Amino acid sequence: MVKAVVVGATGYTGAELVRILSKHVGVKITTLVSRSYVGKNYHEAYLHFYNIVDVICDELDFSLLHKSDVVFLALPHGHSMEIAKELVDQGKKVVDLGADFRLNNVLEYEKWYGVKHKAVDLLGTAVYGLPEINREKIKDASLIANPGCYPTTVILGLAPLLKHKLIDLNSIVVDSKSGVSGAGRSLSLKTHFSEVDESLSAYAVKAHRHIPEMEQELCKIAGTEIKLCFTPHLIPMTRGMLSTIYANLQIDIDEEELYNLYLEFYKNEYFVRVLPKGEFPKTKAVLGSNFCDLALAVDERTNRVKVLSAIDNLVKGASGQAVQNMNIMFELDERLGLDFVPLYP
């Protein structure tokens, strides 16, 4: 039985971790750390856990963390570095759901996130936790940098095209839309109900913090430098993320061939579903699940390919992927705790 701790348990990603881990047959939750709910039962933060998770929230205490096998850090950027360093030094497995270890270049991290990195030596050892791409590295990792939600949709959407060198690398344009839960639980005018309801808006239009993460990992797959054009949008719904990716094809290949290429690339990946031809991803079809749904179309007039990619931003885009990584690290069935049907309607 894997003993697990969640630090930052009362944020949205923390709560999603607790939901998944509470029904994971191979895991025992030993400690839930929350700065805001110290000494309170977990259900006081989230009533839907009443009589399901009976745990009193603790403050950050390394003596409690050291009794665990794995620690999930569901914290904002800048808050995981020193905790992760202490835990890795003590031989613990760590999955960081924040951004502190996603970028290999410390200068890039400090530029995009505006804070000084305090665990630079770990950047070279952290493994980018996208299982469908880095499974073998994840198996032996001590520290996992859990991917961002937008990068998950984009990297999984583009990987087959890049691996087979089918597109012009200077032509990639990504249009992404996310539910409001991606902004976290903290109060903000930007996510206030009356501000976002019945409104679709773009944000971080000139530069988004996930851009260097996407480019870094896409470059590794392509074997050369990539610069993409990315625009995120906020949709007035709680969960869900849909990315539409455009690129110019640089070889003569038809839609049928591309479709079969995607089927072959992901044939052994349970959590990536290449949809039947004529079907296109819907956020409702992955709601509450760890699936990433993919589809593609070729615009023959312009010789462009369009790839559509949908996930639940809190599951495959965060906590579900974190549990998938943990399963791999501890040589458990990768589906454990995650093999459930999406919610519908």
Query: What is d(CA 87, CA 174) in angstroms, rounded to the nearest whole number?
Result: 37
- Convert the chain into a string of H (helix), E (strand) and C (coil): CEEEEEECCCCHHHHHHHHHHHCCCCEEEEEEECCCCCCCEHHHCCHHHCCCCCCECECCCHHHHCCCCEEEECCCCCCCHHHHHHHHHCCCEEEECCCCCCCCCHHHHHHHHCCCCCCHHHCCCCEECCHHHHHHHHHCCCEEECCCHHHHHHHHHHHHHHHCCCECCCCCEEEEEECHHHHCCCCCHHHCHHHHCCCCEECCCCCCCCHHHHHHHHHHHHCCCCCCEEEEEECCCCCCEEEEEEEEECCCCCHHHHHHHHHHHCCCCCCEEECCCCCCCCHHHHCCCCCEEEEEEEECCCCEEEEEEEECCCHHHHHHHHHHHHHHHCCCCCCCCCCCCCCCC
Tokens representing 100 are 């502190």
The amino acid occupying position 298 is V
149 is catalytic: yes
Q: Within a 10 A sphere around the Cβ of 279, how many other Cβ atoms?
A: 12
CB neighbour list of residue 256: distance below 8 Å, 6 or more residues apart: none
Amino acid of residue 62: F
Catalytic residue among 149, 219, 229, 292: 149
Residue closest to 179 by CA, chosen among 337, 8, 12, 9: 12
Catalytic residue numbers?
Answer: 149
